[in-house]
Chain A
Amino acid sequence: MKVFINFFKGFQNTGRLMRMIILLLVVNLAFSLILAIPMYHSLKDSFGNSLVGERMAEGFDYLWWEEYRDDAQGLERTFTPSIIGKGAILNNLEGLIQLRVFDLPPIILIYGFLYIILHTFFAGGILSLFKKREAKFSLGSFFRGAGSYFFRFFLLMLISWVIFLMIDQVVKGSLDSILSGMRETAISEVTPFYWGLVFNAVVFFLFLFIQMVFDYGRIKIVEEDSPNVLTSAAGAFGFVGRHLGSTLGLFYLLFLVQVVFTLIYVLIQGLISQSSFLGIALAFLFQQIFIFGLIWIRCWLYSSQMELYRYLK
């Protein structure tokens, strides 16, 4: 019950800070546009004055894409048919769990890194607003909060990276090696496939679990204004350990919301024809609603977790 109470409280709190979510969306969009503009020019140059443009306006010209792929450098390497619809989400999910992010072009990795740092900064602002349960968003209070917690959040992020790295090297490394041994001696691909799914799920669970614990670490810092990052991290582990059912329950409830929301997006986005500027504009708007929703859910998670933390304290 306490999960649902705080789930709904979090929803209400987030709803009051719509302008903050818009700010986060704008930042996400601006950050992405910096790379999308060169991609636009690359595509425009490649389509050139040829009939490819017409074919790509109507559908997907696979023959053109093969030529483009064969010469692709940097960002261009990421342009594949699998970025369409569900592919975009699946690419990222697989990239995350199997840490294929490092296969991405360096420019995207650098931007990704900067974006994470920026978000670590914003996390202070988000949580400080939720702490005060302010009804109205103001840039001043947002950035004051962001600034006051940034250093501690940054250190917390570095600690979390050590744990993420350990999960990758120790847990994922061991599971990969078990799977590889299994593949060498298996009598069919079926058994390694299912074990592969289980192992991926384990890694994904651990990644999410660590994210959740460090969410509570950040909440602890904000709620208690704790100066000691290590104590906060350890305290977060202790808190989650003591309230495993509630914390996981809340986390997975919101994870489920995100999955359902994503599925709805995947189902609907394919229905929008983009063979006209109006279609492109509508699709773009829909895409931004989707990203807005994802940011909303992330803030909702923060808010619900903060409410749960207070409730259980």
Chain B
Amino acid sequence: MPKKILGLLLFSLLFLATFLSFSDEPFCKQVANYTMNVVLDTERKTITGEEFLTWTNETEHPTDELWFHLYWNAFKNNMSTFFSEQRQRGRGLTGFRLEDWGYCRVDSIRMIDKENFAEIDLSPTMAFQQPDNDNPHDQTVFFVKLPQPVEPGQTIELRIEFLSKVPRPISRTGVYKDNYFIAQWFPKIGVFENGEWNCHQYHSPGEFYADYGTYDVKITLPAAMIVGATGEHREKTDNGDGTTTHHFFQRSVHDFAWTASPHLLEFTEDFEFAPGKTTEITLLLQPYHKNLKDRYMNAVKNAIKYCSLFYGDYPYTTATCVDPAYNSRSGGMEYPTFFTGGAYFITRKGISSPERVTIHEFGHGYFFGLVGSNEFENAWMDEGFTSFLDTEVYYTAYGAPVYSKTYFGIPFTFRDVNIPIESDGISRHRQTSDRDDMQRFAWQFMEGSYGANSYAKGELMLRTLKRYLGENLFGNMIKSYSQRWWFKHPKPQDFYDIVSEFAAQDMSWFLDQFVYGSGKLDYAIGSISSIRPRQQTGWFNGEYRESRSNKENAKTYESDVLVRRLGEVKTPVEIMVVFEDGSEIREKWDGDYRWKKFRYSGPSRIVKAVVDPEFKLVIDVNRSNNSMVREPNKIAPYKWASQWLIWLQHAMEFFTLFGG
């Protein structure tokens, strides 16, 4: 009897543990669900598979078409939209051999008619589409016609047979030697919203967009391969023929990527990032980066901990970080619960590698992963937010990094030169972001402007907003925005709404200038002066007055501060004026007109004036002109000219090698 009770208890515990660890409860509606069985052929470098897709029409509109992405067809020929755009960006295609091209071929697509136990072949209706341009060579999007429309709320099931040829490493996917990084690799349904399909072609600048669902994927490949993928690694089955099948499962995600290599070192740790909240971290490390294990692992832990604090508790049970193989071109990329870092085998204390990229790519798990913005159309809503996130998390966890430079492949740090948080993105913004508005479709930016707008300007706008609203208000706002839009697809207006809600005022005046504008923000102190007041000389109301020394006047100064708006962006600013006697005046200016002059009369001269003294306007492109002092510092130019002089003297002496 006691044995039976014990057995029952053990069984119950096991059941409970299984239930808890494999909690299958989805966090949201599972719109697009994929069950895939795929085989990696390492000889032919192909993935063959079968995909069962169930898709639910969650809109109020019926549709008689289904649109799909075939992203890997971007690597099918040199005339694809992807490669055409690469050429325009000066990144030509070189040395592609027959075996280097990649593609995704749909061999059949059938609709499962459960009622009649039949399958309807949709393949004859398949047609490639180019919704973004008329490029007939681009086959990254196709659609099929349905025999009857899918009504709102209705779910259909499809069986798709496909073959994907793995390309050589390109755009964060492909194979290098025996290192596979497999992303955007299967026929993937577009997003049906507002009565139409949002299914863009694969572009060189820009990323992805998809609906949430469940991915239940079985991958069969050589037994020697170490495998990592999106979601929980539920099972590993030895097939007895030199292959192993790995089973991965994840609900409430919108993509599935995986990696396989016989060289990877696998480290796993359970991490309690908040009381009672744990996730399993898997680190797949290249053997030659073994020395970076702790730095990588701590970066993932810090990312999970601080992202949970700032943007809501990480909801998934796994987080897999992949240290990309050398030459695999898969570094610095994000997929749900699965992301790549990037590292060099030598690093130093104070250098932000590999931490920064690791935090950034994990952070995308929030902004694009959980908050499912459209990366094709609103790139700043994922890249800008994530750039902001990675900087905030990095500086909170590690403090300011130091300046470093690599000589002969060895990084050296300059510990006297810290890189403040306000530097992040400002140089790129200053140089190229005015070529476009921040809100553009990713592939429609002028060359050099996609990154400046999507990453740098987005980040700087958020940091400026944070300092404008105040840390607490902004913190609450951004966390609410994050959590309110988890597993949904927010548009720019949704962000506007939540900012205005927390600011208790319509904030479109602020956001519009950055999101839909290309102007720059630059406030400056134009001049400061303190002079003795002029004594009255001449005729005044019939009385003649002569200039003469006046003791009262001698004690007084008339001081001016001229503040200027040099950029197009207008925002209220504060001005701090400091006088010789230590007194300080704070002014507020609406920043609307081109300039404003502040006048003072008092016993002291102005020592300095600073516009935006709290450095709230992080997006200000010229911070040096924000202040003016009466007496410039004389030491600094001598100090630094002297430093430069020794460099030059040494260079001159050094190069006598080539002479006498």
Contact = CB atoms under 8 A, between A and B. Distances in A.
B655 A112 contact: yes
A227 interface: no
A101 B409 contact: no
Interface stretch (B197-205, B351-359, B415-423): B415-423
A295 interface: yes
Nearest to B428: A70
Interface stretch (B82-90, B227-235, B300-308, B634-642): B634-642
Of B418, B608, B633, B654, the most chain A CB neighbours within 10 A belong to B633
A47 B652 contact: no
B505 interface: no
A164 interface: yes
Interface of B: 177, 263, 286, 288, 325-327, 344-346, 403, 405, 407-409, 412, 414, 416-420, 422-423, 426-427, 430-431, 608, 610, 622-630, 632-660
18 contacts: A36-B645, A36-B648, A50-B627, A50-B628, A56-B639, A57-B633, A62-B418, A62-B423, A82-B414, A90-B407, A92-B650, A92-B651, A96-B655, A115-B659, A187-B325, A188-B288, A193-B409, A291-B653
A89 B655 contact: no
List 6 tightest A-B contacts by C-beta distance, closest first.
A123-B660, A53-B633, A116-B659, A40-B641, A120-B660, A56-B636
B357 to A, nearest CB: 15
Of B416, B422, B630, the most chain A CB neighbours within 10 A belong to B416
A111 B645 CA distance: 14
Interface in A245-293: 270, 274-277, 280, 283-284, 287, 290-291
B659 A82 contact: no
Contact of A48 (B326, B427, B430, B632): B632
B584 to A, nearest CB: 15
A123 B405 CA distance: 35
A108 B648 contact: yes
B391 to A, nearest CB: 14
A79 B414 CA distance: 14
A164 B658 contact: yes
Interface stretch (A9-17, A153-161, A229-237): A153-161
Contacts of A33: 645
A196 B409 contact: yes
A312 interface: no
Given A66-B427, A187-B325, 4 more contacts: A50-B625, A67-B623, A90-B412, A124-B660
A291 B650 contact: yes
Given A94-B408, A197-B409, A87 B414 contact: yes
A121 B659 CA distance: 9
A203 B642 CA distance: 32
B327 A50 contact: no
A124 B659 CA distance: 12
A88 interface: yes
Contact of B403 (A29, A81, A164): A81
B414 A36 contact: no
A68 to B, nearest CB: 8
Given A36-B641, A59-B416, A190 B345 contact: yes
A276 B628 CA distance: 21
Of B426, B427, B622, B627, the most chain A CB neighbours within 10 A belong to B627
A5 interface: no
Interface string A76-100: 0011111111111111111111000
Interface residues of A, number: 100
Contacts of B608: 51
Nearest to A94: B407
Contact of A62 (B263, B405, B419, B655): B419
Contacts of B326: 186-189
B365 to A, nearest CB: 27
B420 A62 contact: yes
Given A54-B629, A187-B177, A82 B405 contact: yes
B659 A56 contact: no
B646 A290 contact: yes
B408 A197 contact: yes
A50 B648 contact: no
A184 interface: yes
Contacts of A280: 635, 638-639, 642
A59 B402 CA distance: 13
A70 B636 contact: no
A52 B636 CA distance: 9
A50 B423 contact: no
Nearest to B652: A115
B294 to A, nearest CB: 19
Contacts of B625: 48, 50
Nearest to A275: B635
Contacts of B651: 91-92, 95, 108, 112
Contacts of B414: 81-82, 84-85, 87
Contacts of A53: 629, 632-637
A210 to B, nearest CB: 9
A54 B628 CA distance: 11
A124 B600 CA distance: 69
A84 B658 contact: no
Contact of A115 (B344, B623, B642, B655): B655
